[in-house]
């Protein structure tokens, strides 16, 4: 991949602390927050300083390192018991992204076998999780771009790039690779209400990397598809069930419905850490409900009638029957179903 199309990094371990690019302040302000405790990392995840399923998992892994340092200093013999509270705090930060729990389980495995001086070993594991994510994203970029057989435009939703991952991105990784290969001529990005991740983050990332991007209101996507020219909708995922149903940022489901009607193909790009084989279908995926104020206000200013109520799910579920291709670092499942998911995950074991 040409380095001009991969410039952004949102998660940095530096000088015994975690530095996170504060995504709430983009695109106007480029500011990193320095975090020195697990509680601060959990709060940053909750407050969406960092967001995107893979990035949340990586940040939580580094949060465990910070917790181990503090607990080992508190009690050389009892740190493993004390750190349980920190793990619970990190796990409770956000409920839908399965990568969070996957990363914590992996760090717990190291804790269980580490009796003394845990920080160095846990840091190595967190850094391995981070590096593996970038490598997986680059692999998915190649696999997904290979499906782009016709040159044209693509449409994406929310943010799935370096800001949402350890680097390079999932759906945006495919888009980066596809653009570099000459298969994508333009990216259309939904604004992604109510947090405007498409407007503030995806458009910003693509501008940084020199990839042509056109922003549209979420409600304009179907009209754009009807005009023709959109070859694929390419999105990420926060959790994928055993039958291939996909939980992703609210608004993904209506894109999938519109894409099927307009004969636009629909691609989901996510690492196998996002697949939760313990959940049979999307009906069982917990959907985070966020504060009404996110819809009723914008930048702290009211934008709705004073007594109006709000329904504000952060995610929706797209049935596997609307997914044309699921791209993972372990391979591609076309028209995924329970049997194909089982084969994919058996190969990932």
Catalytic residues, by residue number, are 238
> Which residues lie below 8 Å from residue 163, measured CB to CB, with a gap of 6+?
8, 10, 21, 23, 26, 51, 52, 55, 201, 205
With H, G, I as helix, E, B as strand and everything else as coil, classify residue 200. Answer: helix
Instruction: Quote the strand ranges of the chain, DSSP E.
Output: 11-14, 17-21, 32-35, 152-156, 184-190, 213-216, 230-235, 239-241, 246-249, 265-269, 275-276, 297-298, 301-302, 315-318, 325-328, 331-334
CA distance 54 to 52: 6
H/E element holding 88?
helix 79-91
- Go through 1-10 and write b for each residue having 16 or more CB atoms within 10 A of its CB, e for each that does not: eeeebbebbb
Distance of CA 154 to the CA centre of its chain: 19
Distance CA 246, CA 84 (A): 31
Q: Are 50 and 23 contacting, i.e. CB atoms less than 8 angstroms apart?
A: yes
Measured CA to CA, the distance from residue 91 to residue 85 in angstroms comes to 10
Length of the chain: 349
Angle at CA 55, nearest 5°, toward 93 and 235? 110
Q: Which of 76, 81, 93 is nearest to 39 (CA)?
A: 93
Give the separation between CA 208 and CA 30, rounded to whole angstroms.
12
């Amino acid at each position: 991949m040409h380095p001009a199309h991969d410039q952004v990094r949102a998660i940095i371990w530096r000088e015994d602390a975690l530095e996170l690019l504060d995504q709430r302040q983009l695109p106007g302000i480029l500011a990193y927050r320095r975090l020195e405790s697990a509680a601060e990392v959990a709060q940053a995840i909750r407050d969406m300083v960092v967001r995107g399923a893979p990035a949340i998992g990586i940040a939580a892994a580094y949060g465990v390192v910070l917790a181990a340092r503090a607990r080992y200093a508190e009690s050389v013999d009892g740190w493993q018991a004390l750190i349980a509270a920190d793990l619970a705090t990190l796990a409770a930060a956000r409920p839908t992204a399965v990568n969070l729990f996957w990363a914590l389980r992996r760090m717990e495995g190291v804790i269980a076998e580490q009796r003394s001086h845990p920080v160095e070993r846990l840091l190595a594991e967190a850094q391995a999780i981070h590096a593996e994510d970038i490598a997986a994203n680059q692999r998915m970029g190649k696999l997904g771009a290979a499906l782009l057989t016709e040159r044209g435009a693509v449409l994406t939703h929310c943010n799935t790039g370096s800001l949402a991952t350890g680097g390079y991105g999932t759906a945006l990784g495919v888009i980066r690779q596809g653009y570099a290969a000459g298969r994508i001529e333009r990216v259309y990005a939904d604004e992604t209400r109510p947090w405007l991740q498409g407007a503030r983050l995806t458009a910003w990332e693509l501008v940084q990397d020199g990839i042509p991007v056109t922003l549209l209101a979420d409600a304009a996507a179907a009209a754009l598809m009807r005009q023709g020219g959109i070859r694929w909708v390419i999105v990420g995922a926060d959790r994928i069930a055993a039958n291939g149903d996909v939980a992703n940022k609210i608004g993904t489901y209506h894109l999938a419905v519109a894409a099927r009607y307009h004969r636009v193909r629909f691609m989901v790009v996510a690492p196998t850490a996002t697949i939760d084989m313990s959940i049979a279908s999307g009906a069982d995926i917990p959907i985070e409900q966020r504060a009404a104020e996110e819809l009723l206000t914008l930048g702290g200013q009211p934008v709705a009638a004073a007594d109006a109520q709000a329904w504000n799910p952060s995610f929706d579920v797209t049935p596997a029957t609307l997914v044309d291709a699921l791209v993972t670092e372990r391979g591609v499942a076309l028209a995924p179903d329970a049997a194909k998911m089982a084969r994919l995950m058996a190969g990932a074991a």
